[in-house]
Each structure stands twice: as structure tokens, then as C-alpha cells.
Structure 1
Amino acid sequence: MKLYRCLTGPDDATFCLRVSEALNLGWELHGGPALTFDGNRVIAAQALVKEAPGQFSRDLDLSKQ
């Protein structure tokens, strides 16, 4: 099955670590990041995809894949 998730948060070191962790767990970038400004800070979003064994279920916890 193919899994998808989108990480979002302030564009800071913590966000970069979250994306790096996902990459090291086998997730792949899906397109480039999206950025917006909320009036105080830049907010980033990065889509990720991953091939995984098993069947899709709406009960999947994607943060643990």
C-alpha cells in the first residue's frame, strides 16, 4: 500500500528534524515544500509518501509507520 502524510509547522529546526526523521524512516518527499506567513512566522508544509506492506485501513497511525 502507499501511504501519504503532510507535516506542518513553523519553519524552524524542529520542523526540519521532523522531516529528516521521516526521511530516515523510509518516507520520501512528495513535491516541494509549501510556505506561508501567518503574520508572525513562516509556516511550512511538506508532503511525504511511503510504500508499506499490508492493507490500507483508516485506523493506521501514520506517525508510527
Structure 2
Amino acid sequence: MAKLYRLLTEEDTSAFCHKVSDALAKGWELYGDPSYAFDAANNVMRCAQAVTKEVDADYSPDMKLGQQ
């Protein structure tokens, strides 16, 4: 069994909320608080949220975390 970690990022729009909601619907759990930062190169705010999930498999760096 392995515990997986992902950091979801996106511009501060509804797309970020949908990305996090999709992960939660697939069994991922929130890990810590969300973060916000200004992306000066693109003149937008960016959001980040860490999520974790326990899976019945051995960890491998080749895993496609978004498909777990």
C-alpha cells in the first residue's frame, strides 16, 4: 500500500475548484491549506492545493498520479 501526494495548481478561476473537486470525487483527500501566489509573468493569481490518497499498490515514479 502506498500513500500518494499531488499538488494541484491552476489560475484562480472556477477551473481550480473543478480540478480539486474532481480529485476529491476520485478519493483524494485535502492535505493542508490552499496557497495563493501572484504570477507576475502572466499577471494572474495562482492557486495550489495538496492532496493525498492511499492506494493498494507499491509506489513507483512511473505512476500516473492523476489516474489513481
TM-score class normalised by the smaller sequence: over 0.9
TM-score by length of 1: 0.95
Give structure 1 stretches of 5+ with no counterpart. Answer: none
Q: What percentage of aligned pairs have identical amino acids?
A: 48
- Describe the superposition over 1:17-54 as per-residue Cα deviations: whole angstroms up to 9, x where unpaired: 01000001000000010100123221001000001001
What letter is aligned with 1:57? S
Number of residues paired by the alignment?
65
RMSD: 0.7
TM-score (normalizing by structure 2): 0.91
AA paired with 1:59?
Answer: D
Runs ≥4 residues deviating over 2 A: none
Give the alignment of 1:2-21 within 5 angstroms.
2-21=3-22
Q: Determine which structure has the larger strand proportion and give its number.
A: 2
